[in-house]
Structure 1
């Protein structure tokens, strides 16, 4: 079922703090996705070469993963002391231990099972045993075991340049396609439950201009980083719009240019930004 977007505006996000103000000023770094593993913050970074930066909860870089084995890391997720990362240069999916050891890597550019054409966002299910990986230019989601063994794929006739995917607490799957600017909800067995278009003016008051990443909290609320509108859009589990948070919270220098986004179990939201400070921290309420 495809619907126009509905807005309730019953949700608020409060700016808390930020860090990494100085880290990217020292060198040219492009930040992409962000995930959490316990108290560790894990970020996909691209400079001359790609790497995965592991940062303390206080904003100090502790060590790096993937130097020499990733070229252009994009999507990240963490589960059971493992980190999964997509690489859009090599069109691969990699699995690392939290201490940096490369355990497995699969993929090449193509359209067959286990091949990718721009693998973007990814996620694990609630068990940590199933991995969903976006395959952007093949317009599909590929499903793997946690050991990177191919299971199935879905969505070829539904999605348009899928950019991110998340597994919800209730087992459903939420998918974002940025070219279609649509948000999809699917059942655990991949049947389409609902789709909302977010770019049908003037019918829709809410428009997603360039959504690439999103996260889901413990109540299955959805937080989308919408880069070109400089804001975070919030939807509930039924894809009803709740709120928009505009990122220019303090001044033009604090303008939010959102990229990867993640939320913890306490409602704390971390969003990467291409304009410093480079990690913004918010509290949902």
Structure 2
């Protein structure tokens, strides 16, 4: 049985309907309100969750114990409706509704803010899902209301984009 603030694993398989998850994880005892993006730090096993309506990211250890949260403090780096998460080397990248990507160290220290509102290169209108491609070091960003995917280089600078003619409000990559 799971204790408060612990991680509970539930295994269930339904091969015919494919409705039931093969594996699911629940965090008990921590008030997550509108959890969106989830990512796991492969070096530590820590679980990072974008807690959208609480305007923060919460970090849990591999046993489900909350370690810390960040982003809900006033000042630079204050989050507004975090959505997508991706771990890119030693950085945690977070998309947020106020049209930017936050670049944090995995320990919760703000490094930089990437992008601004708009329709140009490195400009976003409701960035959502993020994916880091370890094979080439590129970051893929769903720029939802601009109906495209922007790709950033290893250095997190603009590289290219695609989808403007055939994507409608992409949510995740």
TM value normalised by structure 1:
0.49
Larger radius of gyration: 1
Pick the aligned partner of 1:55 from 46, 57, 60.
60
Contact 1:37/1:81 (CA < 8 Å) preserved in 2?
no
Aligned to 1:107: 115
TM value normalised by structure 2:
0.78
Contact 1:32/1:44 (CA < 8 Å) preserved in 2?
yes
Q: Deviations over 1:222-266 (max 9, x none)?
A: xxxxxxxxxxxxxxxxxxxxxxxxxxxxxxxxxxxxxxxxxxxxx
How many residue pairs end up in the alignment? Answer: 152
Pick the aligned partner of 1:42 from 45, 48, 66.
48
1:86–1:103: structure 2 CA closer, same or farther, 3 Å change rule? same
Q: Deviations over 1:84-119 (max 9, x none)?
A: 11011x210121111111112122221111111110
Pick the aligned partner of 1:33 from 29, 32, 37.
37
Pick the aligned partner of 2:83 from 54, 69, 74.
74
Q: In structure 2, the residue corresponding to 1:58 is in which secondary structure?
A: coil
Contact 2:57/2:69 (CA < 8 Å) preserved in 1?
yes
Q: Deviations over 1:47-103 (max 9, x none)?
A: 4x5111110111111011323321210000113221111011x21012111111111
1:112–1:63: structure 2 CA closer, same or farther, 3 Å change rule? same
Q: Deviations over 1:159-187 (max 9, x none)?
A: 1111111xxxxxxxxxxxxxxxxxxxxxx
Q: In structure 2, the residue corresponding to 1:121 is in which secondary structure?
A: strand
Tell me the distance in 2 between the aligned counterparts of 1:22 and 1:98. Answer: 23
Following superposition, the deviation at residue 156 of structure 1 comes to 0.6
Tell me the distance in 2 between the aligned counterparts of 1:46 and 1:163. Answer: 15
Q: Does the alignment pair 1:86 with 2:95?
A: yes
Contact 2:103/2:114 (CA < 8 Å) preserved in 1?
no
Q: In structure 1, the residue corresponding to 2:152 is in which secondary structure?
A: strand
Contact 2:38/2:50 (CA < 8 Å) preserved in 1?
yes
Contact 1:43/1:54 (CA < 8 Å) preserved in 2?
yes
Following superposition, the deviation at residue 22 of structure 1 comes to 2.0
Q: Does the alignment pair 1:65 with 2:73?
A: no
Contact 1:104/1:148 (CA < 8 Å) preserved in 2?
no
Q: In structure 1, the residue corresponding to 2:145 is in which secondary structure?
A: helix
Q: Show structure 1 runs of 5+ residues with no match.
A: 1-7, 166-285
Q: Show structure 2 runs of 5+ residues with no match.
A: 1-14
